[in-house]
Amino acid sequence: MTSFPPQTLSAIDFAADLFRQAKHAVSLTGAGLSTSSGIPDFRSTGTGLWSRDEPMEVASLSTFRTAPERFFDWFRPLASQIYNAQPNTAHLSLAKLEKAGRIHSIITQNIDMLHQKAGSQTVIEMHGTMQTLTCTQCYHKVESALYLDAFVENGKPPRCPQCSNILKPDVILFGEQLPQAAWFKAQREARHCDLMLVIGSSLEVLPVAGLPMQALDRGAHLIIVNNVPTYLDVRADVVLTEDAAAVIPAIVEKVLNG
């Protein structure tokens, strides 16, 4: 059991109260939620993916189209980490919250499928998913589980079983538009919720970073759990700069068991 200072305990209690009062709560999650599962985030100093690589050079649609092997060389260790990752206590706690009817949906910027592995049912994936791959030529779609093992093992880019062209993971690269259906769902959830819980997101990447503002503009409460400040800390009801894997279970325990 994690020991928290009094100020943090007070914030946890207040966050739990907001959940108990809410009729339509949603969560917005980012890469910071999965660091305890062994998946690096993007912007942490020294450990974030973008502290080591220039995103437009390795993770853009133009790079994939012109030099796919460069993308796959960068992507291989991340794919291995995602493939082997397991949900942490925060993912599992959110799934409990959903099962208890205390949270309506999870809007996630993550591609790691850990929410689904934890048991969450209503997950809106804003940046795509690692679950499937699509051929860049004939658009044949396949389950990634059939190809990820071999790719992680030998590093050879996966190829289409129908036409032999390169398969692209169904994740959103820089220069690609967000999936339209997911974006519409996320906006609808943001505009109808009366409480939004942001976890592990620096709220720096638009347009997803604007979803909490849409919620606030319609009178919703806002809870932020993140290890660095965000632009909306001044508008939030509760701000917790603590490890999500410790704080989220504490909030959920208070919500469900008082």
Q: Which residues are catalytic?
A: 127
CB 234 within 8 A of CB 75: no
CB 26 within 8 A of CB 195: yes
Close Cβ partners of 65 (under 8 Å, ≥ 6 residues apart): 136
Report residue 56 as tokens: 């437009």
CA–CA gap between residue 215 and residue 198 (Å, rounded) = 11
CA–CA gap between residue 160 and residue 166 (Å, rounded) = 6
For residue 61, the SS3 value is helix
CB 118 within 8 A of CB 93: no
